[in-house]
Amino acid sequence: MDTGPWAGRTTGWPFVGRVAERERALTILRRSNIVIAGAAGVGKSRLAAELAASFQAPVRVRGTHAAGALPLGAFAPLLPGGEPGANPLRWAADAILARRPSLLVVDDAHLLDASSAALAHQLSARVRVLATVRTGQECPDSVAALWEDDRGARLDLDPLGQDETAELLSGVLGGQVDRAAAVRLHELSQGNALLLRELVAAALEGGVLARPGQVWRLDGEVPRAPRLIEVIERRMGRYGDAVTAVLELVALAEPIGLAPLGSLAGHEAVEEAEERGLIQVVMGDRRTEVRLAHPLYGEVVRARAPVLRLRRRYRELAEAVEATGARRREDVLRVAAWRLESGTTTRPAPLLRAARTAWAAHDYPLGLRLAEAAWDNSSGPDVPHSDRADMADDSHADVPDGYRADAAIMYGTLLNYSGRAEEALAVVESVPGEGCDERRRTELTLTRAWSLAFGQVRMDEAVGLLTRVREEITQRSLRQDLSCLLLVIVGGSGDLDRILSLAEALLAEPPETAAVKAQALNCRAATLATLGRYGEALADIRDALDDLAEWHDAVPVIVQPLYSNWALTCLMSADLEGADDVLDRMESLLGRGRGSIYAADNIAILRSAAARMRGRFAEARRHVAPPYEPKGDDVLSGMVHIERAHVLALTGDAVGARVAFDAGVGGQSRHGSLHLMWRYLTEPWLLAAEGDTKGAAAFALGTAAHGRGLGLLPFVTAALHTVARLGYADLAAEHLPFLEEGPLEGPYAPVVLAHCRAAAAGDGAALEEVAAAFERLGCIPFAAEALAQAAAAWERSGRATASRVAAGRAWTLAARCEGLTTPAVASLTAPGLTRREAEIARLACAGLSSKQIAEQLVLSTRTVDNHLQSVYGKLGVTSRAELKRILV
């Protein structure tokens, strides 16, 4: 049987059937980045390889399940040795850019860890990025941003058509393919290039696909493989034990160094696996690494391997890396995770060290698993003798239950931040703090108090515990640690004077450690921002982050509130670009939370609020609406629901807004001041959406009065702005002196003050100035509302032309806001265009010049231009670009 030159191999397939996609992708790559999306095996990687061949010195990385558990795991082969310093992303970016790449190819970008995804997004501003992602898989936000944030485009790759499949088969097999055979193979593969490749290989090896004459035919039924996984299982089942060992080791450790893989599985087996196209050997600067040829191979290998054999493989991997000294930071995590999977976790000390590393990397699921294993193996008599040396090195010697206390502290902390406070409390209460040294007693107390305060809402009990233990601890730095948590708990009370007093007293002592200083600065910054003292708040936040390297490993959890407070401060002052930048940095460090009940919800709320203020309501809903679900902390979960209600109310969905609002308010067992602010500023818009505009204004006025009593300038500013936006600015007059007396830092508060005064006076010109100021800030809904009010003011004063122009501009801005239906803009209608004006506007938006439009409509060019000027005047625009943005 003639099987052609390709038979028995999985490489060498010609590139056919994707010519149009290649040309389109190249066109995109010449001006921006591109993300190629498609189902597994559809040909994304092959198309990416063809595109990369058009560039000089491209740099390639690939996401994998194994590397996805490690910060910067996908880029590790390209990074130099040594410590990355305080800014790992900048260090990594500099290392990649030093290669002067013309193109960065990121294959399987949906599998990137958060740090690698953030690095790829950061590099996209300096070098072209070509990424591939699998549809149906959740992508890191930083990867999705490559096509969502105007940095590039997304190309969705469809399956091959029947004709394309036939063309591909002819090229592969080196001759004409019987139509019936081509149709049948297309049906079975459903146009999936990888599935087709495996089907052909199986058919050739089984003697089903043959060429008795000049045409390839199917002689009998193709092996039953409707899905890719079945075909790969059939093919991989034909390999011997040696190649199976190679595939299992690579699947579990990908990427794995060539040297350790060869020592474990045998170099001949590795060569055979490469020859068969099952693995890829990638040459790097630091070492040569091995990966699977396709991620689906790994899924099959892991699914087919017996449990006991997988456990043996994990043990072999751990022993191999340990034998080399586990020199790299990520080796600590990899070895500990492998030991965990292999069931050889009898030494708790390495597990606890790895749990701390995962905690510092903000990877709570992995840290939790490791800490749980350390806890389970930490009982005194069961701690192996070799671990007792580790314990002595870590000052565990001669301390009753010292190691068990450390395991309880780490495990309890991770349980707390994973939303399992009741379990955390049970763990720490099982270790008597009175039998420990002061350091362990302090940390046990902190973990227990956190569980009481934020997990079970037993605030008074938590405060009493912290106060009592603080009086008994003699070491000053430990007393300050206890004071920090007291400060955090008090921070939820709304007593701003007390919070400031406690924070400033702690900073004046002064702090014994950078961790204490950072926590005190964070609490003071949050309070200062709530008082409207934005400049001082930002100075404190930057002061804390300047020392990030000194405190990060000790209290990595402080990263999230610091960045959250920073972003919120930007939002309260309407610095939307600043908020975006801060949130980008936050996500680069924390990803999407990776198990933390705080980070993901904070990011969702703040991203939605920034989009809402811009009028990007579809984006805002995407951040806080299903399928997104809050992660567990009741205050933040409530704020997610309330933020969703705010977005829905502004866009007229009163029923959905009420459901979301009730969910946000009804499930909270504790109420922080920030939660109450979010709630009280949302409720007026809910009432307005339900038709009670007057009641909404009254509620907002009550909110402003409440905020004045507490001295919350941002709270009062936003509430009074709500009153003005609802059309009752005259009722806000008594509160305006409070704004004038405040610091009015940032651009937002002065514009709100001007809006209130202009709306109350019915001053059309002043309202237009207010609208222009809001538009400069990027707050398009606010600008649209102010212009609508200006139109009404002009009409009342008999200025019909000015009213019409203002209304047109208001309608134009509101049209950009994806469904804005607040009272100020609800009555706006598109300025009336005549039939001829609408026709000319449509042709202009299609890209025709005035001369071309004139020729098509048999008009003079001057007539066309006159009609366009009339259209511009009615719609409040000044150019074709603005016109297209509105009408297309």
Tens of pLDDT, residue by residue over 574-613, are: 999 999 999 988 888 886 556 677 888 888 899 999 999 9
Residue 377, both tokens: 């193996």
Q: Residue 871: which residues within 8 A CB-CB, separation 6 or more?
A: 833, 837, 840, 841, 883
pLDDT of 384 higher than 70: no
Cα-Cα-Cα-Cα dihedral sign, residues 815, 817, 818, 820: negative
What is the pLDDT, as a whole number, of residue 235? 56
The pairing of beta strand 104-107 with beta strand 59-62: parallel
What percentage of the chain carries pLDDT values higher than 90? 37
Peptide bond into 684 cis (omega under 30): no
Distances in whole angstroms, Cα of residue 379 to Cα of each of 9, 356, 406, 428, 631: 54, 19, 11, 14, 32
Instruction: Please give the average per-residue pLDDT across 153-169, as a whole number.
Output: 85
The token pair that represents 252 in the structure block: 């579990």
Residue 216 dihedral angles phi and psi, to the nearest 5°: -75, 130
- What is the spatial distance between Cα 122 and Cα 115, in angstroms, rounded to a whole number? 10
Task: Quote the tokens at residue 119.
Answer: 């690095």
Who contacts 388 (Cβ-Cβ below 8 Å, separation ≥6)?
396, 397
Tell me, what DSSP letter sits at residue 772?
H
Q: Are 134 and 38 in contact (CB under 8 A)?
A: yes
- For residue 517, how many other CB atoms are within 10 A of its CB? 22
Mean pLDDT computed over 565-580:
95
How many of the other CB atoms lie within 10 Å of CB of 85?
Answer: 9
User: pLDDT value at position 846?
Assistant: 73
User: How many CA within 13 A on the CB side of residue 125?
Assistant: 9
Residue 73, CA atoms < 13 Å, CB-side half-sphere: 23
**Does the pLDDT at position 720 exceed 90?**
yes
With beta carbons less than 8 A apart as the criterion, state whether 164 and 16 touch. yes
Q: How does the average pLDDT of the chain come out, rounded?
A: 84
Please say whether the dihedral angle defined by the alpha carbons of residues 250, 256, 262 and 263, taken in this order, is positive or negative.
Answer: negative
| 834-839: long-range pairs with CB below 8 Å, 24+ | 836/867, 837/867, 837/870, 837/871, 837/874
Asked if pLDDT for residue 532 goes beyond 60, the answer is yes
Q: Which of 250-254, 488-492, 641-645 has the lowest mean pLDDT?
A: 488-492
Look up the pTM and report it: 0.69
Q: How far apart are the first and last CA of the chain?
A: 60
> Do the beta carbons of residue 602 and residue 587 sit within 8 Å?
no
Q: Looking up tokens 């959905």, which residue turns up?
A: 656
Question: Residue 150: phi, psi to the nearest 5?
Answer: 65, 20
Write the pLDDT tens digit of every residue in 79-107: 887 777 667 888 888 888 888 888 999 99
Kindly state the average pLDDT of the residues 615-641: 79
Give the sheet arrangement for strand 104-107, strand by strand. Answer: 59-62, 104-107, 129-134, 33-38, 152-156
Residue listed under structure tokens 């997990």: 455
- Are 1 and 211 in contact by the 8 Å Cβ rule? The answer is yes
225-231: long-range contacts (C-beta < 8 A, 24 or more apart)?
225/188, 225/195, 225/198, 225/199, 226/188, 227/195, 228/40, 228/41, 228/192, 228/194, 228/195, 228/198, 228/296, 229/296, 229/299, 229/300, 229/303, 231/195, 231/198, 231/199, 231/202
Mean pLDDT check: name the lowest of 128-137, 183-192, 494-503, 596-605.
Answer: 183-192
Sequence-ordered list of residues with C-beta below 8 angstroms from that of 298, at least 6 positions apart, any chain = 64, 65, 250, 251, 254, 292
122 pLDDT above the threshold of 70: yes
In 733-798, which residue ranges form alpha helices assigned H by DSSP?
736-741, 748-761, 764-777, 780-796
Q: What are phi and psi of 156, to 5 degrees?
A: -90, 125
* Segment 643-688, tens digit of pLDDT: 999 999 999 999 999 999 999 888 666 656 667 888 999 999 999 9
| φ/ψ (deg, to 5) at 6 | -85, -20
On the question of pLDDT at 520 being above 90, the answer is: yes
Peptide bond into 510 cis (omega under 30): yes
Tell me the residue type at 165.
T
Give the whole-angstrom CA distance, residue 845 versus residue 373.
Answer: 64
Q: What is the identity of the amino acid at 19?
A: V
Is residue 887 scored above 70 in pLDDT?
A: no
Please give the residue that has the higher pLDDT: either 352 or 766.
Answer: 766
What is the structure's pLDDT at 611? 94
Q: Strand, helix or coil at 202? A: helix
CA distance 451 to 413: 9
User: Quick one: pLDDT band at residue 396, thresholds 50, 70, 90?
Assistant: very low
Q: What percent of the chain is helix, strand and coil (3-state, nearest 5)?
A: 65, 5, 30
Q: Which residue has the higher pLDDT, 234 or 186?
A: 186
C-alpha 433/C-alpha 453 separation (Å) is 18
Coil, helix or strand at residue 175 = coil
Q: Which residues contact 826 (CB under 8 A, 6 or more apart)?
A: none
More confidently predicted of 329 and 755: 755
Q: At what angle do helices 19-29 and 44-52 cross, to 10 degrees?
A: 60
Return contacts of 548-555, CB within 8 angstroms, 24+ apart. 548/86, 549/85, 549/86, 550/514, 550/515, 551/513, 551/514, 551/515, 551/517, 551/518, 552/86, 552/360, 553/356, 553/360, 554/513, 554/514, 554/515, 555/515, 555/518, 555/519
Instruction: Say which DSSP state 723 is in.
Output: H
Percent of the chain with pLDDT over 70: 88
Q: For residues 600 and 602, give the distance between their C-alpha atoms in angstroms, rounded to a whole number.
A: 6
pLDDT at residue 381 is higher than 60: no
Q: Tell me phi and psi for residue 13, to 5 degrees.
A: -75, 135
Q: Assign 762 to helix, strand or coil.
A: coil
